[in-house]
Amino acid sequence: MPSVKSLDDLKKIREDALKKQQLKETSGKTEVIVGMGTVGIAAGARETLKAILDIIEKDNLSDIIIRQTGNIGLDSYEPIVQVILPGEEKVSYGKVNPEMARRIMKEHVLGGEIVKDFQIEG
């Protein structure tokens, strides 16, 4: 792995991403939101988000919007992850550890099936 990264490398990445975008239809994007308030961070929200980013990177998942938000107001359920599929209602999950985050990514974000075991009202 080269230790110095240049902006030329990034330009190449950009061109590849543009080609990929042109091939795809405009099908809308899935949003994944992780709560990053003090309570969320203390409960492990950074590691939960890291697991989600790892999957996106390793499985090469384009068109997923990652967002973080401050306190969601459901402290006892932190870390909280919310998923919004294109054109669908927001689904909230509570006490999401990295293992659970990987399941949510696989079953809900990719498979379209809500992971009912982890779902909370919110």
Partner 1 sequence: MRELALHILDIAENSISANADEIKIIVEEDLQKDILRILIQDNGKGMDAETLAKITDPFITSRKTRSVGLGIPFFKAAAEACQGSFTIHSVPGKGTTVEAVFKHSHIDRMPLGDIESTLITLLMGTPEIHWIFEYRNNESCFIFDDKPIKETLEGIPLSEPAVMRYIREMIETGIQEVHLSGIMEATH
Q: Does 64 bind partner 1 (CB under 8 A)?
A: yes
Residues written for the chain: 122
For partner 1, the closer of residues 49 and 117 by Cβ is 49
Q: Does 13 bind partner 1 (CB under 8 A)?
A: yes
Least distance (Å) from partner 1 to the CB of residue 73?
A: 4
Q: Does 70 bind partner 1 (CB under 8 A)?
A: yes
Q: Does 75 bind partner 1 (CB under 8 A)?
A: yes
* Contact string (CB under 8 A) for partner 1, positions 32-61, x = contact: --x-xxxx-xx---xx-xx--x--xx-xxx
84 bridge partner residues: 31
What 88-95 contacts at long range (C-beta under 8 Å, 24+ apart), as own/partner pairs, is: 91/119, 92/119, 92/120, 92/121, 92/122, 93/118, 93/119, 93/120, 94/118, 94/119, 94/120, 94/122, 95/43
Q: Does 10 bind partner 1 (CB under 8 A)?
A: yes
Binding to partner 1 in span 103-122, by CB under 8 A: none
Distance CA 67, CA 37 (A): 13
Among the listed ranges 4-12, 92-100, 103-111, 113-121, the one in contact with partner 1 (CB under 8 A) is 4-12
